Amino acid sequence: MVKIKILYVEDEPFLGKIVKESLESRQFEVRMVADGKDVMAAFTETKPDIAVLDVMLPNKDGYAIAKEIRQINASVPLIFVTAKTQTDDLIKGFEVGGNDYLRKPFSMEELIVRINNLLQLTQKQKTAPKENITIGKFEFAPQRYELRKDQNIRKLSHREAVLLQILAENQNNNIDRKTILMRVWGDDSFFNSRNLDVYVTKLREYLREDSSIAIITIKGIGYRFVVG
């Protein structure tokens, strides 16, 4: 059986050892790195299926590492792990290409659920239809995580692309909030519900150049994606 490869970046030796051994006991193959400056070399060599990044690291933080990873790989799932609790930190993680965010202290069960959910979402994205989708004046390429208008191309994160695809599939229809949460995150927890609000705000900003497009919040239900 081919094992799932995880790049795990953590500078706390005790925590790192526990998490690495726990993941390995569940049949994951884990490459652990403790210093930010060594991560990209390990990423290139390992070619992981998913990366779990601590934010606070020596020499280079997790946000800077995520930016570099996204320059060479737009689709590998990235999970940030951090003791930071500010909403601004959460938003920054998503802006640099993160797919999920786990606060310390965390349980191994929660980390594994999030890893498996992201891997499932990535696999679904790979096997989804590859046709581009026209959204008003934009052309959306789900497989390449690209939103194009004229000659301008915006690279989307994995979850931004999944959310936009859900909206595009349901143009001019109401979309239940729980349905979105289950498809994008795999659960409808309060934390992920807040994440959804952040993602919707980002997509509204990306699409604002076309005034015929609107993501309308339907109180008590979810959203309506209006085009035209």
Alpha-carbon gap, residue 55 to 81, rounded angstroms:
6
Q: Do 59 and 120 sit in the same domain of this protein?
A: yes
Predicted local confidence at residue 88, as pLDDT: 73
Q: Which residues of 67-98 are buried (b: 16+ CB within 10 A; e: fewer)?
A: eebbeeebebbbbbbbebeeeebbebbbebbb
Range of the domain at 86: 5-127
DSSP H or E run through 227: strand 222-227
Render pLDDT for 203-220 as a digit per residue (tens, 0 to 9).
Answer: 999 999 999 999 999 988
Alpha-carbon gap, residue 7 to 135, rounded angstroms:
36
Render pLDDT for 24-56 as a digit per residue (tens, 0 to 9).
Answer: 999 999 999 999 999 999 999 999 999 999 999
**Per-chain mean pLDDT for the chain:** 88
Render pLDDT for 101-131 as a digit per residue (tens, 0 to 9).
Answer: 888 888 999 999 989 988 887 776 665 555 7
CATH of the domain at 105: 3.40.50.2300
Q: Which phi and psi angles does 53 have, rounded to 5°?
A: -115, 125
The whole-number average pLDDT for the span 129-144 is 84
Running DSSP on this structure, what letter comes out for residue 215?
E
Q: Do 35 and 78 sit in the same domain of this protein?
A: yes
Sign of CA dihedral 57, 61, 66, 68: negative
Q: Do 192 and 172 sit in the same domain of this protein?
A: yes
The whole-number average pLDDT for the span 171-188 is 84
User: What does the angle CA 194 – CA 195 – CA 201 come to, to the nearest 5 degrees?
Assistant: 95
Contact by Cβ (8 Å): 111, 102: yes
CATH of the domain at 214: 1.10.10.10
**Higher pLDDT residue, 74 or 180?**
180
Predicted local confidence at residue 163, as pLDDT: 93
